[in-house]
Amino acid sequence: MTIKGVLFDFSGTLFRVESTESWLRAVLTDARLALPEPELLRTAEALERAGALPGGAFPVEPPTGEPGELWAVRDRSAEHHRAAYTGLSRRVTLPDPALHDALYDRHMTPPAWSPYPDAAEVLAALRERGVAIGVVSNIGWDLRPIFRAHGLDPYVGAYVLSYEHGIQKPDPRLFAIACEALGVDARDTLMVGDDRRADGGAAALGCGVHFVDHLPAAERPDGLRPVLDLIG
């Protein structure tokens, strides 16, 4: 098939969030608070085990009961997303309770994210070939400023974000919205993501699907380049 449009996931596909340790250090610095190094490292590890960093590791112990119900729909609204992740953060004791919201706010800033090394190259090559590009993300906040800050926004023709539509991947409706926004048929579209369940939902529409590994940026320097080989 000839690919006329490519949809990309955000976190773990085009961008990678900073480490939990970097995330915590930045917020403590902004708050002018300090922890002894061993305590800081223990706290960062506890936050990672809790799954408190959006875009980072999933909780080692997933929430149950009402928190679990919120976790399941966290990407359907900004309110759900903040409540779910700050709820996980509050499993960990921090020197100031205000830091839980500060951590959440930090993860929405451009310095918290790095594009994968080959992201700009691949997006530019697709645009040069006349391929329409969209971003489809399960998320609870506006990621467009991240793309603008890192110079990738000019390549993107449409952003379809779960919280803006009240629909989460793998629901095929989210991918259908993206295809319509780009003016491409789903059967002529490739979805690129790192989550086989969520991103694999595009296959129900007839989209092709290609998966990449969710790794630190330095460990995946050219994971997106195979996409160019899939374009007819």
Predicted confidence at residue 2, as pLDDT, reads: 87
pLDDT in tens, 101-115: 999 999 999 999 999
At 32, the pLDDT band (50, 70, 90 cuts) reads very high
Q: How far is CA 154 from CA 22, 108, 148, 193, 216, in A?
A: 28, 20, 8, 20, 24
Q: Can you list the domains of the chain with their CATH numbers?
A: 5-16+113-230 (3.40.50.1000), 17-111 (no CATH)
Instruction: Evaluate if residue 19 carries a pLDDT over 80.
Output: yes
d(CA 189, CA 176): 10
Q: What is the pTM of this model?
A: 0.96
Across-strand partners of 193?
211
- The string of pLDDT tens digits covering residues 156-167 is 999 999 999 999
Residue 232 has pLDDT above 80, yes or no: no
Q: Is pLDDT above 80 for 41?
A: yes
CB atoms within 10 A of CB 218: 10
